[in-house]
Amino acid sequence: MTQRGRPRTFDRQTALRQAMQVFWALGYEGATLNELQAAMGGIAPPSFYAAFGSKEELFREAVELYSRTLGAPMIQALEEGPTARASLEALLAAAVESFCKRGLPRGCFLVFGAFNSVPSNKDVEEHVRGLRLRRQKAIQRRLQRAVDEGELSKHLNLASLAVFYTTVIDGLAIQARDGASRKALDFAADCAMGAWDCMVQRSRTAKREHMDRR
């Protein structure tokens, strides 16, 4: 069947990557359609809507692209570490690397893409919040695996520990956006791993005390 109309004169994936950077830098509400269309190669409104449907649909695609590409090394590092500590250390290192890439906005798209939105954009905000929560749940799954394998004590509060390291990641993203140096971010990540050593040692002490009272 013959297609009607003129063929697209732009590369859809390239246009999507450019839109991702605009949303990343300005946020969903801050990015205007004119700015998006200009960044996407001067795409005309009819072609824009034919290719992406709407600004919201484009944003959702951009967030998923970020998660599959720039966000993927963080999850991969978390899952492949030989120990829970090594996994979290690699996760923080990958986060710092991602938040400081040259030629890209600093920080994390999932943190800055849509936050404290107006009521009409709450669905967009909730979508991004769900993706951030997915990262937190991945951390908790890795910790649970360590408990199941006997590496970590079952006395550790895994949910709170996952929240702590998610908070560290989000904080690194904010500091990166505000201009903190790579050295300063690495130092913050090292301090977070120092907190890990303290918490794990405390759980071991609590376990010994519990066993002594039996």
pLDDT, one tens digit per residue, over 5-56 is: 444 567 899 999 999 999 999 999 999 999 999 999 999 999 999 999 999 9
Distance, in Å, from the CA atom of 203 to the CA atom of 208, rounded to the nearest integer, reads 9
159: pLDDT strictly greater than 70: yes
- The stretches of 69-181 forming alpha helices (DSSP H) are 72-80, 84-99, 109-112, 122-148, 158-177
pLDDT, one tens digit per residue, over 108-143 is: 999 998 877 788 889 999 999 999 999 999 999 999
In the chain, where are the structural domains located? 12-65, 73-213
Whether CATH 1.10.10.60 fits 12-65:
yes
Q: Which pTM value belongs to this model?
A: 0.86
Token pair of 49 as six digits = 């809507």
Are the C-beta atoms of 65 and 24 separated by less than 8 Å?
Answer: no
208: pLDDT strictly greater than 80: no
7 DSSP 8-state letter: P
Task: Determine if residue 157 is left, alpha or beta; phi over 0 gives left, psi from -120 to 50 gives alpha, anything else beta.
Answer: beta
How does residue 1 score in pLDDT terms, banded at 50, 70 and 90?
very low
* Nearest alpha-carbon partner for 139 in 110, 109, 173, 168: 168
Percentage above 70 pLDDT, the chain: 90
- pLDDT, mean of residues 173-199: 95
Are the C-beta atoms of 173 and 74 separated by less than 8 Å?
Answer: no
Distance, in Å, from the CA atom of 174 to the CA atom of 88, rounded to the nearest integer, reads 19
* Average pLDDT score over the chain: 90
pLDDT, one tens digit per residue, over 72-110 is: 999 999 999 999 999 999 999 999 999 999 999 999 999
73-213 CATH fold:
Tetracycline Repressor; domain 2 (1.10.357)
Are the C-beta atoms of 10 and 47 separated by less than 8 Å?
Answer: yes
Q: Which pLDDT score, from 0 to 100, does residue 213 have?
A: 59
70: pLDDT strictly greater than 60: yes
